[in-house]
Amino acid sequence: MNRATTSRALIGLVALLATAACSGSLPWTADMVETPARHADEGLLMPPEGSLSTTGEVKQSRFRAAMSLRNPLPGDTATIESGARLFEIYCQPCHGAAGQGDGAVASYFTLRPPADLTGTKVRAQTDGYIYATIRDGGGSMPPLGGSLSETERWAVVTYLRSLQQ
């Protein structure tokens, strides 16, 4: 490479850098700006199609859950007792101590009151449906999945079955 070629190459490079600087940034300095991150008010960034949960729980509608989920816990006394404790905290205020839909705040639900959990309708529901109702709520019932872990939800289902006996 002779001198003239080298200096022309240098001038070319300087010109390129100057153009990039004037236009705001070099192509590689924008990497951190152009991320899939979202602003807080833009809503949740959903996982890509086909992603699998690392906690092993696949989100399903209550109707799908009703068909495919099985209660993995044994129906022993320890499980029932832990379910009873959780029921008292998370369900009783609306559904009442015996689950009959007459909890302390039940009267505030004027359109669709808390269900009688010992009635024929809920008795006929599968464990999976009740589990998913606890997790995601349904109708005028709020979701409680953020407060109860998977095991805790199944413990409540187990207790509920004992209440229905």
The residue ranges that bind ligand HEC (CB under 6 A) are: 90-91, 93-95, 109, 112-115, 117, 121-122, 130, 133-134, 138-142, 144, 156, 160
Q: How far apart are CA 129 and CA 115, in angstroms?
A: 14
Closest Cα partner for 92 from 105, 79, 80?
Answer: 105
Neighbours of 91 (CB within 10 A): 23
Residue nearest ligand HEC, CB atom distance: 139
| Residue closer to ligand HEC, measured from CB, 16 or 67 | 67
> Residue 20 or residue 150: which is nearer to ligand HEC going by CB?
150
Nearer Cβ to ligand HEC (20/136): 136
Enter the tokens of residue 39. Answer: 């602003």
The least CB distance from residue 131 to ligand HEC, in Å, is: 9
d(CA 148, CA 70) in angstroms, rounded, equals: 17
* Alpha carbons 51 and 32: distance in angstroms, whole number: 24
Cβ 157 to ligand HEC, closest distance in Å? 7
Q: Is 111 left (phi over 0), alpha (psi -120 to 50) or beta?
A: alpha
Q: Which is nearer to ligand HEC, 39 or 121 (CB)?
A: 121
Shortest CB 140 distance to ligand HEC, Å = 4
For residues 158 and 79, give the distance between their C-alpha atoms in angstroms, rounded to a whole number: 7
Query: Taking the complex as a whole, how short is the minimal distance between the CB of residue 158 and ligand HEC, in angstroms?
Result: 11
Distance separating alpha carbons of residues 141 and 94, to the nearest angstrom: 9
Q: Which is nearer to ligand HEC, 65 or 95 (CB)?
A: 95
Smallest separation, CB 145 to ligand HEC (Å): 10
